[in-house]
């Protein structure tokens, strides 16, 4: 092997350090030319012109009671008050899992963590009181304790944690839906009564978790050697992508019962879920196919040459790389799904936006649309941004673009 | 049936192997026999079918006529036969083809764990030994993208050896490497050849051929134009095409 010649000491120099004073930084970045200075002043003026009335309105004119009075409707719809503890139970379980995961995997990012924690506390502060306030504070404390426990336990509990996440959604569906008769402690709550953020989140979570594997299968189907599988995958994908989601939601409400025997009754929430899943799966299939196309043929050769079976090379070699390549588009699609769940209001389900709409149409809240919709907007934005942040974290953790 | 003389069966037998890509006749009747422990060097101009040929030996390419037997197993559409042959043959590619999302250690242990179903401890022990053998014991926890081309190719050799193959196929293993890295890869290959491994090497590294090859095959336009020992090929090539090609690659 060829040894690199040792560089002489005077050749090895530290990189040049750039030091700025605040004024120096401002000069460089904001006022480097007369045109730049002009842009800076224009931008400041614009921010002022928009910001001032917005802040004045938010803190002195807006009547936020439309939100605080209706917070239960916005959060859980018409879910029976006596059964609300079940929803809270799910929130606390989420706090446990979220806190543990943050402690085990994320560790740093204290600022983002604090913002996530501040959200329930801020909401609690804004409420007039009642059990919700206690629950929110409790959830924040639970999350914090779980975070500390997660940090202490570290990677040892990784597997347990993954298992818990896998069980979480079915468990939530079970708790929210309930089993058994009127008299049982966990009595059935008809999905007609689910609503608000609860419904939005359930539609989103089920939509993501079911459409993703379906999308993988469709993407593989489209590349299959078997003509029947390939053609039916193509037909499905192109058919669904050619139709607006609203149409699919209507079809799911009206047509789905036609395909099923008369004695099977599917409730409207499940029908909407099916619509969203079928829609998203088609798009994700194309996203995933894009990731598969980017895998060099040499990877398939190498996987075959070392003796892996077709399924093994797909699961161990090809899919991990393909999915990693398309994390941004996959998450983008999931964020779109989350926001698209608001379309179920059109088929009569009262999700977050649907509830907001029905609240502001009541006589005592007339003229308070801005407050209600702004609140809803904030909630949508908060979770969308959180998903985007997680996706970036995931990219860094998986070394996208580096290896 | 007549009693045959007790002689070890050849590791690889090819009889009249043909391959088409669409209308293009890429392999036009290739015959070859390779005995255990032999080192074969295959060379020829690009497009001569040498890479295609070596890829038919573990069925990365399908041959459409003729017969290929690897360690007594005939390559056909029978998936079990293909899997058996692939377990016994290791392959090293021009572009390394390491799995970029796995560490060096995971690259090397993957096949033993999933195909041979070895316990993890055994697979890792073997991997450590192999990485030491190709001269990069300290890189086990890195990702392929963090290594130089020469190091990646040596990991690829270790990965192929991890399955303890009877035959090693090399498809232009040094063509994508910088000159100073060619040497380190060739050293690993020469050591492997001297250990008694049956090897088929597609390469233009004539120094390597001179040092360890038992026989050389010159491919052109899908046929074997000439074969012989390195001495025969270098000192007294019979065919004009071989002479011309050798003069081109040896003078430059």
Which pLDDT belongs to residue A6? 59
Binary contact (A305, B143; C-beta < 8 A):
no
CB proximity A306 to B under 8 Å: yes
pLDDT (mean) for A74-102? 91
Return the residue in B88, B110, B164 with the most chain A beta carbons within 10 A, the one to mutate for interface testing. Answer: B110
Binary contact (A317, B111; C-beta < 8 A):
no
| pLDDT < 50 stretches in chain B | 1-3, 5
Binary contact (A301, B93; C-beta < 8 A):
yes
What's the CA angle centered on A396, arms B97 and A116, to 5 degrees?
A: 155
Check residues B210 and A396 and name the one with the higher pLDDT. Answer: B210
Alpha helices (H) along A256-318: 256-259, 268-293, 297-305, 310-312
Contact B63, B17 (CB under 8 A): yes
Q: Give the closest of B93, B135, B184 to A302, CB-based.
A: B93
Binary contact (A306, B90; C-beta < 8 A):
yes
Q: How far apart are CA B82 and CA B86, in angstroms?
A: 6
Strands (E), A294-389: none
Tell me which chain A residues have a C-beta less than 8 angstroms from the C-beta of B184.
1
Which of B154, B156, B112, B161 lies closest to B136 in space, CA to CA? Answer: B154
Is the entire prediction scored with pTM above 0.90?
Answer: no
Nearest chain A residue to B180 by CA: give it: A2
What pairs with residue B223 in β-bridges?
Answer: B220
Binary contact (B110, A306; C-beta < 8 A):
yes
Contact B167, B90 (CB under 8 A): yes
Contact B218, B206 (CB under 8 A): no
Please tell me the distance in Å from A158's CA to the nearest CA on chain B. 19
Binary contact (B143, A399; C-beta < 8 A):
yes
Tell me which chain B residues have a C-beta less than 8 angstroms from the C-beta of A399.
143
Please give the full DSSP string across B102-128, using - where no structure is assigned: S-HHHHHHHHHHHTS---HHHHHHHHH
Contact B30, B224 (CB under 8 A): yes
| Partner A, chain B 88-127, Cβ-Cβ below 8 Å | 89-91, 93, 95, 97-101, 110-111, 114-115
Confidence bin at A8 (pLDDT 50/70/90): low
Please tell me the distance in Å from B63's CA to the nearest CA on chain A. 16
CB proximity A315 to B under 8 Å: no
Tell me which chain B residues have a C-beta less than 8 angstroms from the C-beta of A316.
110, 114
Q: C-alpha dihedral over A387, A391, A393, A394, to 10 degrees?
A: 130
CB proximity B172 to A under 8 Å: no
Please tell me the distance in Å from B31's CA to the nearest CA on chain A. 23
Q: How far apart are CA B246 and CA B96, in angstroms?
A: 26
Instruction: Please list, in sequence order, all residues whose beta carbon lies within 8 angstroms of the beta carbon of residue A236, skipping any fewer than 6 positions away.
Output: A218, A282
Q: C-alpha dihedral over B91, B92, B97, B101, to 10 degrees?
A: 70
Residue A129 clears pLDDT 70, i.e. is over it: no
Which pLDDT belongs to residue A123? 79
Lowest-confidence segment of A5-9, A140-144, B124-128 by average pLDDT: A5-9
Which pLDDT belongs to residue A9? 63
Q: Give the closest of A307, A317, A403 to B87, CB-based.
A: A307
Please tell me the distance in Å from A12's CA to the nearest CA on chain B. 23
Residue A376 clears pLDDT 50, i.e. is over it: yes
Q: Give the closest of A305, A306, A321 to B101, CB-based.
A: A321
CB proximity A309 to B under 8 Å: yes
Contact A62, A370 (CB under 8 A): yes
Confidence bin at A401 (pLDDT 50/70/90): low
Nearest chain B residue to A1 by CA: give it: B184
Tokens representing A253?
A: 């409400």
CB proximity B67 to A under 8 Å: no
Interval A218-252: pLDDT, tens:
999 999 999 999 999 999 999 999 999 999 999 88
Binary contact (A321, B58; C-beta < 8 A):
no
Check residues A396 and B23 and name the one with the higher pLDDT. Answer: B23
Mean pLDDT rounded to a whole number for chain A: 88
Which pLDDT belongs to residue B1? 44
Q: Give the closest of A2, A320, A324 to B180, CB-based.
A: A2
How many residues appear in chain B? 252
Neighbours of A194 (CB within 10 A): 25
Q: C-alpha dihedral over B81, B82, B84, B88, to 10 degrees?
A: 140
Which pLDDT belongs to residue A395? 87
Residue A1 clears pLDDT 50, i.e. is over it: no
Lowest-confidence segment of A119-128, A170-179, A218-227, A325-334 by average pLDDT: A119-128
CB proximity B83 to A under 8 Å: yes
Tell me which chain B residues have a C-beta less than 8 angstroms from the C-beta of A299.
97, 99
What's the CA angle centered on A349, arms A378 and A330, to 5 degrees?
A: 55
Binary contact (B98, A403; C-beta < 8 A):
no
Which pLDDT belongs to residue B122? 96
Tell me which chain A residues have a C-beta less than 8 angstroms from the C-beta of B59.
304
Q: Give the closest of B60, B99, B159 to A299, CB-based.
A: B99
| Partner B, chain A 1-30, Cβ-Cβ below 8 Å | 1-2
pLDDT (mean) for A171-178? 90
Which pLDDT belongs to residue A254? 83
Residue A303 clears pLDDT 70, i.e. is over it: yes
Q: How far apart are CA B114 and CA B92, in angstroms?
A: 19
Neighbours of B135 (CB within 10 A): 18
Tell me which chain A residues have a C-beta less than 8 angstroms from the C-beta of B163.
306-307
Strands (E), B22-130: 24-34, 39-43, 65-70, 73-74, 89-92
pLDDT (mean) for A20-26? 83
CB proximity B60 to A under 8 Å: yes
Handedness of CA B189, B193, B194, B195 (dihedral sign): positive
Q: How far apart are CA A43 and CA B225, in angstroms?
A: 75
Backbone dihedral angles phi then psi of residue B91, each to the nearest 5 degrees: -135, 140
Interval A31-46: pLDDT, tens:
888 999 999 999 999 9
CB proximity B144 to A under 8 Å: yes
Instruction: Match 């807006």 to its residue by tokens.
Output: A62
pLDDT (mean) for A63-71? 85
Q: How far apart are CA A327 and CA A89, in angstroms?
A: 31
Tokens representing B3?
A: 């009693």
């Amino acid at each position: 092997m060829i040894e690199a010649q040792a560089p002489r000491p005077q050749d090895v120099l530290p990189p040049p350090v750039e030091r700025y004073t605040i004024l120096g930084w401002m000069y460089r970045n904001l006022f480097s030319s007369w045109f730049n200075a002009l842009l800076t002043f224009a931008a400041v003026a614009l921010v002022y012109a928009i910001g001032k009335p917005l802040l004045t309105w938010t803190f002195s004119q807006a009547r936020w009671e439309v939100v605080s009075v209706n917070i239960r409707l916005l959060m859980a719809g018409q879910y029976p008050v006596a059964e609300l503890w079940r929803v809270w139970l799910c929130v606390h379980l989420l706090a446990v899992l979220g806190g543990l995961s943050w402690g085990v995997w994320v560790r740093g990012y204290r600022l983002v963590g604090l913002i996530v924690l501040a959200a329930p506390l801020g909401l609690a502060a804004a409420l007039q009181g009642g059990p919700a306030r206690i629950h929110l504070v409790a959830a924040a404390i639970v999350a914090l304790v779980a975070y500390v426990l997660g940090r202490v336990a570290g990677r040892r509990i990784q597997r347990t944690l993954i298992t818990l996440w896998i069980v979480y959604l079915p468990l939530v569906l079970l708790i929210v839906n309930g089993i058994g008769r009127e008299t049982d402690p966990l009595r059935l709550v008809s999905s007609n009564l689910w609503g608000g953020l609860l419904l939005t989140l359930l539609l989103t979570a089920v939509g993501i978790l079911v459409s993703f594997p379906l999308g993988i299968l469709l993407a593989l189907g489209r590349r299959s050697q078997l003509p029947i599988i390939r053609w039916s995958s193509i037909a499905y994908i192109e058919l669904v992508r050619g139709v607006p989601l609203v149409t699919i939601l209507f079809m799911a409400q009206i047509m789905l019962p036609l395909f099923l025997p008369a004695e099977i009754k599917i409730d409207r929430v499940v029908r909407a879920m099916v619509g969203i899943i079928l829609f998203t799966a088609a798009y994700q299939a194309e996203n995933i196919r894009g990731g598969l196309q980017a895998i060099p043929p040499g990877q398939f050769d190498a996987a075959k040459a070392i003796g892996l079976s077709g399924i093994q090379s797909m699961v161990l070699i090809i899919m991990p790389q393909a999915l990693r390549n398309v994390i941004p588009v996959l998450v983008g699609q999931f964020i779109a799904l989350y926001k698209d769940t608001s379309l179920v209001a059109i088929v009569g389900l009262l999700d977050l936006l649907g509830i907001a709409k029905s609240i502001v149409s009541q006589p005592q809240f007339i003229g308070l649309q801005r407050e209600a919709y702004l609140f809803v907007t904030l909630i949508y934005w908060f979770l969308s941004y959180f998903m985007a942040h997680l996706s970036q974290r995931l990219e860094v953790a998986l070394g996208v673009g580096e290896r | 049936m007549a009693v045959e003389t007790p002689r070890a069966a050849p590791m690889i037998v090819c009889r009249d192997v043909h391959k088409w890509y669409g209308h293009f006749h890429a392999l036009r009747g290739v015959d070859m026999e390779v005995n255990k422990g032999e080192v074969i060097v295959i060379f020829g101009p690009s497009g001569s079918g040498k890479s295609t040929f070596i890829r038919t030996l573990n069925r990365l390419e399908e041959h459409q006529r003729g017969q290929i037997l690897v360690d007594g197993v005939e390559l056909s559409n029978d998936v079990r036969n293909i899997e058996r042959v692939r377990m016994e043959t290791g392959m090293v590619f021009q572009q390394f083809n390491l799995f970029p999302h796995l560490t060096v250690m995971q690259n090397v242990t993957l096949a033993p764990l999933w195909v041979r179903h070895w316990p993890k401890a055994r697979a890792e022990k073997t991997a450590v030994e192999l990485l030491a053998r190709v001269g990069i014991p300290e890189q086990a926890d890195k990702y392929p993208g963090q290594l130089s081309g020469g190091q990646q190719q040596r990991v690829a050799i270790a990965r192929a050896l991890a399955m303890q193959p009877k035959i090693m196929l090399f498809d232009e293993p040094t063509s994508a490497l910088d000159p100073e890295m060619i040497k380190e890869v060739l050293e690993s290959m020469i050591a492997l050849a001297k250990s008694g491994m049956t090897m088929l090497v597609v390469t233009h590294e004539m120094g390597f051929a001179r040092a360890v090859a038992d026989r050389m095959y010159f491919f052109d336009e899908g046929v074997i134009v000439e074969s012989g020992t390195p001495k025969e090929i270098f000192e007294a090539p019979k065919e004009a095409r071989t002479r011309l090609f050798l003069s081109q690659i040896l003078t430059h």
